[in-house]
Amino acid sequence: MTLLHIAVFLPILIIPFIPLMYKYIHRVHTGWFVMLVPLCLLILFASYYPLELSLDPQLHSVAWIPSFNVHFTIYLDSLSLLFALLITGIGTLVVLYSIFYMSMEREKLHFFYAYLMLFMTAMLGSVLSDNLIVLYAFWELTSVSSFLLIAFWYHRKKSRYGAQKAMIITMTGGFAMLLGFIILYVAGGTFSIRELIAMGDQVSQHSLFLPAMFFILLGAFTKSAQFPFHIWLPDAMEAPTPISAYLHSATMVKAGVYLVARLTPIFGIQVEWFWTITIGGIITLFVGSFNAIRQTDLKALLAYSTISQLGLIMSLLGIGSLALHNPQADNTILFAGATLAAMFHLINHSIFKGSLFMVVGILDHETGTRDIRRLGGLIHLMPVSFTITMIGAFSMAGLPPFSGFLSKEMFFTGLLSASSALNNGFVILPIVAWIASILTFVYCMIMIFKAFAGTYQPERLDRKPHEAPIGMLISPILLAALVIVLFFFPNLIATSLLEPTVKAIIPQAFTSGMVWHPHIQAWHGFNTELFMTIGVVVIGSLLYINYKKWRNFYEAMTFKHSLSHIYDRGLLGMERLGTKVTRFYMTGSLNHYLSYLFVFLIVMAGGSMIVNQAYFFDFSRNSPIESYEIVLGLTMVTAAIYILFSKSRLISIIAVSVIGYIVSLFFVIFRAPDLALTQLVVETISTALFLLCFYFLPKVSKNLSTLTFRLRNAIIAIGVGLTLTLIGLSAQGHHVFEPISDYYKNSYALAGAKNMVNAILVDFRAFDTMLEIVVLFSAGVGIYTLIKLRHAGRKDQ
C-alpha cells in the first residue's frame, strides 16, 4: 500500500481515536486534533503541485478483487489533484471554523468529527479512484456520511427529513450510475477509467453506449443537484453550518461535476453528451437563481445559489466537450477555454461560497436568526462579517475586482462561442443564462443589503449582535482574501493547474500537438461579454431598487405544485401503497407465509427449468435399488401422506420424526455413521422441541381442518417435492463441472481431519458460522441501540 492509499484512508483511520480525545481531553477542543489530518493531507497533495500531472500522472494499484478485475488504483493527475486540494484545503478551514462554532458543552463533537472524517475519506476515494467499482463504493459512502452529517441534530424533524431526502435521491442516482458502470464494463471489458478512455472508439460502438451514458449522468445530476433532482439541497441546509460550508459548497455537490469531467474523454464525442449536460446546466442555473430571490432564510438562499452555480459549471463542461467534435484549432481553443472556465469557476465557487456559508453561520451564531426579515442594520455592529459577505457576494454576482468576475466573463465567452459554432442555433441558451445572471445579481444584493443595511431591529433578534470572535473569522477572511488575490493574479494557477486539468478532461483535443497556454485577464476591451455584464449590473440594480414593486408578481409566478411537493406526495403514495400491499400478504399466518415461499419456489425454479428445457435424466450409472430400500422409501411416503390427514398434532409430530429417523437409516446403509448419528441427535432434539412448543399452542382451528385447506397444502407439498426431486435428478444427470467432492478428498491435507464430514462441518464451514455469529451480533447491537434510543430520545423540534 502506497502513501497515497494511506492518505485516502487516513481520515477514517483516526476515527477510533476521536471519542477518546473527546472523553479524556476536556480542556482542548477535539477539532484541534482533527484539523491536523486535513492539514497534513493538504501539504501532501500540495507537494505534487505544480507538476505536469496530465503528462506524468501518479499511478498506484493494490489488488482488491482480482477475479473480477477490481483493484484499488490511485490515479493522481491534474484533475484529481485539483479536487483533492479543494477537499483537504476547504476541509482544513472548515474544521478550524467548527472549533469556534461547535460548542464543547452542548454538542457531541466525537460524532461530528467522526462523520466528517468518514466523509473526507469518501470524497478522496471518489476523486482518486481509477476503478469504477471502487469509485462507486466511495461514491455511496459520501451519501451515507452526508446523511449522518445532515441529520447530526437528529432530534429536529427537519434535519431527519433533509437527510432522508438527500440520501434517497442521491443513492437512487448512484444505483443508476452503477448500472452505467456495469454496461461500460460489458462494452470495454474493464473497470479502469484509463483503459476505457484508451479504447474510446471500441466502447462508443457498443449498442448500449448511450444508455450507459444516461445512467451515469443520472448519478452525476442527482449528486450535483441538477434540475430536476436539485430539491434535496435546500432541505439539507438543516445541517450545522460547517457541514453546509463543506459538503454543499465545496465537496459533495462537486462530485457530480468531477464525474462528468472525468468521463468526458469517453462520452464527450457524443452530441447527446453535449446537449444533455449543457441544457441541463442552463436550466439548473435559471431555476436556482429564480428560486433564490424568494428565500427569506439566508442558508436557503445560499442553497439555491449553489444549485445555480453548479448549473453554470455543468453547462461549461458541456460546451467544452465540443472541443472533441471540432478538430479545427480555433474551435478547439475556444471550447477548451470553456472547460478552463468551468474549472476556474469551480475553484472560485468553492472559495466565495465557503466564505458566505461561514458568514451566515456567524450571523446565526451571534444574532440567533438567519431570517432576512429580522436582520438589518448590522453593518456597524459586524463590519468584518459585512466585508466578507460583500466580497463573496460580489464575486458570485460576477463583479470586479473579484475572481468570480473573471470566470463569469469566461462563461459568457463559452456560451457565445458555442452559439457561433452551431450557427446561432444555440442563441436561446445565452439569453437564458444572461437572465439568470441578472437574477444572480439581484439575490446577491439582497443578501448584502437586506442583512447588513437598513434599519437595526434589536427587538426582533434573539441575541444582542456583536462581531464574531477572531477564531471564527479566520477561515472566511482567508477565503475572501483568496477571492481578491485570484482576481489580480489568476495566472498563478492558470498554467500550472488549470491548463493541465483541461488537458486531462479533453485529452483527445490536444493529441495533434497543438500548443495552448491560457492567459486569464480582466480586460478584453469593449466586447459582447462586457456589455452583457454591464446589462446584468444595470438591470439587476433597477430590479433590486424596485424589489417591493415586483415581488408580488414574482411570487405569483411560483408554482403551487413544486417538485418538492411532488416528491413528498410521491413518497406518501408509495408508503400508502406499500402499507396496503403489506397488509394484503402479512396476514399473521405462518401457513400463508410458507405457502408464498413454496409457491414462489415452484414457479421460479420449476418454471425456469421447464422454459429452458433443463430437465435431463441419466440413470445409467445408478446403483441398483434393493428391496429394503424400497420398503424404507415407501414407509417415508406413507408417513408424509399420513401427516396431511392427521387431526392430532402429537401424531403429526411423531410422523415427521419417523421420516427423520428413516433418513438416518439410509445414512447407515450408505456407510455414513457420523451423519446417521448427527441425524438421530438432531431429530430427537427437534421432536422434543416440537412437543414443547405445540404444548403451549391453542387448539387447531376448524379452518385448518377443512378439506380445502388440506388439499391446498397437499398440492403445494407435492409440487415442492416434485420440483426438488426433478432438479436433483437433473443435476445428477449433468456433469458440466468437476465434482466438488474431489476437493474434499484432500481434507486431511487441507484441514488435518481424517473424517471428511467432520472437516466440512468444522473447518470448511468455519467462515460461514463466523458470519452467522456476526449477523446475530449486529442484530443484537441494533436492537439494543433502538431500546436505548427509545428511553433516551428527545422530542421532535
Same domain? For 432 and 463 the reply is yes
180 vs 585, higher pLDDT? 180
pLDDT in tens, 347-391: 999 999 999 999 999 999 888 888 898 888 889 899 999 999 999
Q: Which pTM was predicted?
A: 0.82
Angle between helices 707-733 and 590-601 (to 10 degrees): 40
Is 412 inside a domain boundary? yes
Supply the pLDDT for residue 437. 93
Same domain? For 310 and 371 the reply is yes
Give the distance from CA 43 to its chain's centroid.
Answer: 27
Closest C-alpha among 161, 110, 354 to residue 248? 354
pLDDT in tens, 639-683: 988 887 777 778 888 888 999 999 999 988 888 887 888 889 989
Rounded (5°) CA angle 675-680-685: 125
Domain around 775:
765-797
- DSSP E strands in 176-241: the ranges are none
Using CA atoms, how far apart are residues 547 and 5, in angstroms rounded to an integer?
53
pLDDT over 70 (residue 791): no
pLDDT over 60 (residue 579): yes
Supply the pLDDT for residue 340. 92
Q: How confident is the model at residue 627 (pLDDT cuts 50, 70, 90)?
A: confident
Q: How confident is the model at residue 518 (pLDDT cuts 50, 70, 90)?
A: confident
Is 713 inside a domain boundary? yes
Cα atoms in the 13 Å half-sphere on the side-chain side of 26: 2
pLDDT in tens, 169-215: 999 999 999 999 999 999 888 899 999 998 877 888 888 999 999 99
Is 425 inside a domain boundary? yes
Per-residue DSSP letter, 523: -
Same domain? For 537 and 463 the reply is yes
Using CA atoms, how far apart are residues 217 and 196, in angstroms rounded to an integer?
17
Q: What are phi and psi of 191, to 5 degrees?
A: -100, 0
Q: What are phi and psi of 754, to 5 degrees?
A: -80, -20
Same domain? For 276 and 395 the reply is yes
Supply the pLDDT for residue 556. 67
Same domain? For 369 and 503 the reply is yes
Same domain? For 637 and 491 the reply is no
* Residues above pLDDT 90, as percent of the chain: 47
Same domain? For 342 and 483 the reply is yes
Mean residue pLDDT of the chain comes to 87
Contacts (Cβ under 8 Å, ≥6 apart) of 760: 744, 747
Helices marked H in 518-589 — which ranges? 528-545, 547-556, 563-585
Region 222-243: mean pLDDT is 92
- Count CB atoms within 10 A of the CB of residue 1: 11
Supply the pLDDT for residue 373. 87
Supply the pLDDT for residue 742. 74
Same domain? For 366 and 455 the reply is yes
Is 533 inside a domain boundary? yes
Region 769-776: mean pLDDT is 86
Quickly tell me which residue has 459548497 as its cell: 249
Same domain? For 624 and 722 the reply is yes
Cell of 624: 441398483
Same domain? For 622 and 680 the reply is yes
Number of H helices, E strands in the chain: 37, 2
Lowest mean pLDDT among 497-501, 664-668, 789-793: 789-793
Using CA atoms, how far apart are residues 707 and 713, in angstroms rounded to an integer?
10
pLDDT over 70 (residue 52): no
Q: How many domains does the chain have?
A: 3
pLDDT over 80 (residue 694): no
Is 10 inside a domain boundary? no
pLDDT over 90 (residue 257): yes
Which H helix or E strand runs over 60?
strand 58-65
pLDDT over 90 (residue 316): yes
Is 468 inside a domain boundary? yes
Is 53 inside a domain boundary? no
Contacts (Cβ under 8 Å, ≥6 apart) of 158: 235, 238
Same domain? For 384 and 505 the reply is yes
Is 257 inside a domain boundary? no
- Count CB atoms within 10 A of the CB of residue 355: 28
Same domain? For 362 and 381 the reply is yes
